[in-house]
Amino acid sequence: MHIDWEPEIDTPATIAVIGAGPVGVEAALYARFLGYDVLLFDSRRVGHRQLAWGDHRLEPTWTGLTSPLGLAALAAQGADQDVLSNMSTAATSDQRGDVTYRQYVEQYLIPVARTDLLYDSVQVNSPITSISRTSCGSDPTIANERRSEQEFRLLIDSRQRGEYTQLVDIVLDCSGLARPLGLASGGGLAIGERTTQADMLSGRVDVFGKHRARLAGKHTLLFGRDDAACGNAIDLAQLAQAVAGTRATWILPKQFGNHDTLSLSPPVAAEFVAAARRLADNEDNDSPVVSLAAWGIESVLMDAESGWRVRLQISEEETLDIQAAELITCQALQRDWSFTAALPLTQRQAEDGLTGEPHYYVLGQKAVGASSRCTMPQAFEQIKKTFARIGGRAELDLYETVRRHKSV
């Protein structure tokens, strides 16, 4: 992408980071090491999407999940040296199973967010509802050079403070993929879907924690074929072993020309894949999770007394009605640009995090899109390149600087 604006911004400048997941926390940390003022926003809490995976293990080792800056920040706070040593030393294949999503968030991500460098920057339960550019409006004909000189205005809906605004110089969008396709055939909206969305559980849910009471001893309808759907199916099967009456009907949406029932993004642990396929293929006749293929959900209705009534499109002419106490939807996620409606150039995404909007960068899974998974090594490279551009130094690499300093 040709840049017709000046990307370099010196400190002190204010950077807003949207999304306090792994990529957002690491990007905010990199900015703080460089001396920028940082505000790290999340609609819920630090690492909440990863925590929902609980004790499922991560395929990468600690060394693939942590950065030299994160480990340095923890060391400066007096973190346990044995824990830091385990994170910074390459793990053997026998140790790979020791790193679970919960351990990653609780032992690394949250502690990093609580270090002196980031603690005052983190704004949880604070979704961004609107981003605009002061004095520019939404006119796409305004020259980028002019747009780049104006601050961003963020509207935040904070649970603690209520609605308030914040002016910033740079936006790093690390919000991931958040807008799901519809439940009907081809990803369209089902009848009744818009009015019942608030009552559905969506994405990866905390089956053994937050959502246990809603799911235990009940019939749950699970819709989807991605990693989140597979994880939910596995956990519901395990919950059924502990709580009688727990069962699930797993609706696997069919795709034309695709004969694989599941849509898994590597890297995924082999035992996870095997467990998911056993459930999807109905290998166990006594399994509390029964799979059913369908083109989509034609209509959905929620009643407080009778629960969910769902009509499935089984074939071109055949439908099937199912009732359940709970409904979990795991339809494929897309990039969410809804809060950037006043930034007409943002969606022109290019390489290395650049967008058509000056000083608005997209990092992490949102930069990659839904077709493949963004690994943390990829994210670290995105962060490094973005700040090399912001700092005006192509050779800038804080990760390597900290590694060299540590080895001296």
Sheet holding 37-41, edge to edge: 122-123, 37-41, 14-18, 170-173, 360-362
Q: pLDDT tens track of the chain, all 408 residues?
A: 678 899 999 998 999 999 999 999 999 999 999 999 999 999 999 999 999 898 888 877 898 999 999 999 999 998 878 778 888 775 443 444 468 899 999 999 999 999 999 999 999 999 999 999 998 877 778 888 999 999 999 999 999 999 999 999 999 999 998 877 889 998 899 999 999 998 999 999 999 988 999 999 999 999 999 999 999 999 999 999 999 999 999 999 987 766 668 888 766 778 899 999 999 999 999 999 999 999 999 999 999 888 999 999 998 889 999 999 999 999 878 888 889 988 887 766 656 788 889 999 999 999 988 777 889 999 999 999 999 999 999 999 999 999 888 765
Quote the number of domains for the chain: 2
Tokens 């559905």 locate to: 200
- pLDDT tens string 331-381: 878 888 889 988 887 766 656 788 889 999 999 999 988 777 889 999 999
Domain boundary among 331, 348, 363: 331
Check if the beta carbon of residue 37 is closer than 8 Å to that of residue 166.
no
Say whether both 233 and 136 belong to one domain. Answer: no
For 285-305, letters b (16+ CB in 10 Å) and e give: eebbbebeebbbbbbbbbeee
Check if the beta carbon of residue 155 is closer than 8 Å to that of residue 129.
yes
Say whether both 287 and 346 belong to one domain. Answer: no
- 4 in a domain, yes or no? no
Say whether both 165 and 22 belong to one domain. Answer: yes
Encoding tokens for residue 46? Answer: 């630090």
Residues facing 248 on adjacent strands = 220, 289
Domain boundary among 331, 353, 384: 331
Range of the domain at 223: 182-331
